[in-house]
Amino acid sequence: MKNDKIKKAGKIAKEAKEYAKSFIKKDMPLLEIAEKIENKIMELGGKMAFPTNLSINEIAAHYTPTYNDETKAHGLLKVDLGVHIDGWTADTAFSIDLENSEENKKLIEASKKALDNAIKKAKENIRTSEIGKAISETIESYGFSPIINLSGHEMKQYELHAGITIPNFDDNKNTIITKGLYAIEPFASTGNGKIHDGKLSEIYMVINSKNVRSPIAREMLDFILEEYQTLPFCSRWLVKKFGTKALIGLSQLTQNENLHRFSQLVESNDAKVSQAENTILIDEKEVIITTE
């Protein structure tokens, strides 16, 4: 039952990813790209596990368009999308070069190959550091650096980042992979392999359901708890539901510490970053890539 939901979420994520690859072109508004992907996910019977991340060049992750975003697709674009069925998630990402740049293409190949090599290693009882080693060795063989302060992660019901993390380098730890659901996500960069917090993103998550005085904020919090539970969501979705007064509600909820507002994750030297990600289900017999 649970595994059927995991597989269904994976299949929808795969289809949404293939669809995204078929229509994304340079200069297309990011807002349009995000909405097409998210509409496709819902049309296929899934729900979003998080807002579609559309991060360009040195932004490694956590950029999702505002409700009135005018940014156009360009550069090295990372598309990271998530689907859930009753809280069972699929998390997958790919990168696309919109500049016909040899360096971008090589960066994209490096993270993709690192993902393939990492998945080959992944099985029950292996050390997560061995997966990390496969990732860093692959990316370094292309002359790039893995981002070491981003990592893959275990996923549980309505919990996108749970339990075990999977490093993008050999961290020398003895953490052992157990049966479960994991996202593996190598990032390759022309920089020194670190990201830091950039500008605030439009992505939020509930951290506390305590009471809030403002009636609109209260109404929004009830909606968020019902609709997204503990999964991330974005301002765009709430503007769609409540109009632009949602922006005031979000800032009240953040101030009252009901919500955490994520930051964009930016490469430390503003160097370009590529990403590849798939979700795998590990049980005693086999490893299934759910998003491919």
Question: Among this protein's residues, is 91 annotated catalytic?
Answer: yes
Q: Which of 108, 183, 224, 266 binds Mn ion (CB under 5 A)?
A: 183
Nearer Cβ to Mn ion (151/235)? 151
Q: Which listed residue (38, 91, 97, 202) is catalytic?
A: 91
Question: Among this protein's residues, is 277 annotated catalytic?
Answer: yes
Counting contacts by CB under 5 A, is residue 154 touching Mn ion? no
Nearer Cβ to Mn ion (77/183)? 183
Q: Which residues lie below 8 Å from residue 178, measured CB to CB, with a gap of 6+?
A: 124, 125, 164, 282
Nearer Cβ to Mn ion (128/258)? 128
Question: Among this protein's residues, is 62 annotated catalytic?
Answer: no
Pick the closest to residue 204 from 217, 190, 189 (CA basis). 217
Question: Among this protein's residues, is 4 annotated catalytic?
Answer: no
Nearer Cβ to Mn ion (115/206)? 115
Tell me, what amino acid is at 150? L
Site for Mn ion in 37-76 (CB under 5 A): none
Q: Which stretch binds Mn ion (CB under 5 A): 119-127, 176-184, 198-206, 211-219?
A: 176-184
Site for Mn ion in 78-97 (CB under 5 A): 80, 91, 93
Question: Among this protein's residues, is 161 annotated catalytic?
Answer: yes
Question: Among this protein's residues, is 74 annotated catalytic?
Answer: no
Cβ atoms 62, 55 nearer than 8 A: yes
Name beta bridge partners: 102: none
Active site residues: 80, 91, 153, 161, 185, 277
- Site residues for Mn ion per CB under 5 A: 80, 91, 93, 183, 185, 277
